[in-house]
Structure 1
């Protein structure tokens, strides 16, 4: 091999090492940069409370009330039979249409939660609009029951940073869920029970989503309650599940006490 060939070989070797190094740095960056941005970037996504880092075996049942009330009395009877307290998230329209139901829920000792005034996709609203959507049902419930609500659930589970800031500035905790009964799909009693009791996310501190107006919910509720209790869970309203002092929320939406 002459000197010219040796120089070409050295050149190709150096070039190959440089290219390989650049590729390693590039792919490492793809893997690591999103994690760094999500933790320390300027545009951090805020997350509501999906579940709670509970040290005790407790879960919460919650019912969204936005449409009819045909099932509400039956649900309240079943809850009373088992001495279980839950959380009802109500829209302003529902509160206005069914004031006696609101009073009955409060009188039974259940949480009253805010589900917005008009059940809009609130991620599409400006902060002031969101605050108005929160304030209206708050005032209606206050007038009816004397209770100042402080638990908010966004319609459709639709939220963004603007909404979470509006919720916080309104004196509320933003609540989601980590176990979805899918009762609104009307697949039947067994499906609702299975979706809750066999849910892979069900655990200490879970928040379970149901609806007061779904067709099969009342028929499934007793089996859900006894099934959770058979698993050793105590069912408590969300106000007794979450931490109300200083807290953090991880990337999964799990709330931790500081």
Structure 2
């Protein structure tokens, strides 16, 4: 009988101790929980949202842009400028630093005819592999050279190879640039021929108001295809404007498909 009493007594003590231990742990975590919450609330929030460049623009206006990448050759630049002038069209030229240095007179001619001068980086590198400092250097070097030639202040940037990640978009914006991609690729760089280029642009499913068309100043068939592309766009009712005129420069957001959308203005109170 005494053994049973001792067993019950020990069991009660054990239960009591377990209760107090559990209570102590609970109280500790309760107060630590507030401490941890306060700590985390004071830390900056890291966004995992993907940063996107401008692929196209949401607009009710029947406007599109034609853009040219100028990175290597230059045989056809003047011919392109002549075609644009004949059709009273302004376009956008994204130029590398090497191209700017090698063809300063053409840079001046593009500027004098009223086209956009866009930045295509100094050395045509994969921008996502660069540090923040290197990204700004790649951009600002070109901008300074162009400004010395023309007084034009660049604010449009197209990443070489279309390569970017979050830190490229964010850093380019911090350095004063809108990052511009394209929604319609003419594929002129594949040298499939004039008809292939014209068909790729005019029958592209992404050819809509606000589209940005990609072409190249040195592709083999571009100068033969360009007049037909312009004519076809006009027949479809499109006005061709430079990228700087197509995009919004403030109060906008970019959706998950890279479309730049103007933010709705809040209704004014009466």
Match of 1:144 in 2: 149
In structure 2, distance between residues paired with 1:205 and 1:54: 6
Matched, 1:90 2:90: no
In structure 2, distance between residues paired with 1:126 and 1:235: 36
- 2:201 is paired with a residue whose SS is helix
Matched, 1:186 2:191: yes
Match of 1:211 in 2: 216
Matched, 1:254 2:246: no
- CA displacement at 1:41 relative to structure 2: 8.2
Match of 2:178 in 1: 173
Q: TM-score, normalised by structure 1?
A: 0.84
Equivalence map 1:1-258=2 (5 Å): 42-258=47-263
In structure 2, distance between residues paired with 1:238 and 1:167: 17
- CA displacement at 1:42 relative to structure 2: 3.1
Deviations 1:19-72 (A, max 9, x none): xxxxxxxxxxxxxxxxxxxxx983111000000001100000000000011010
Unpaired runs of 5+ residues, structure 2, are 1-44, 264-270
In structure 2, distance between residues paired with 1:237 and 1:247: 19
In structure 2, distance between residues paired with 1:44 and 1:102: 37
- 2:215 is paired with a residue whose SS is strand
Greater gyration radius: 2
Q: TM-score, normalised by structure 2?
A: 0.80
Unpaired runs of 5+ residues, structure 1, are 1-39
In structure 2, distance between residues paired with 1:42 and 1:227: 43
Aligned length: 219
In structure 2, distance between residues paired with 1:189 and 1:85: 22
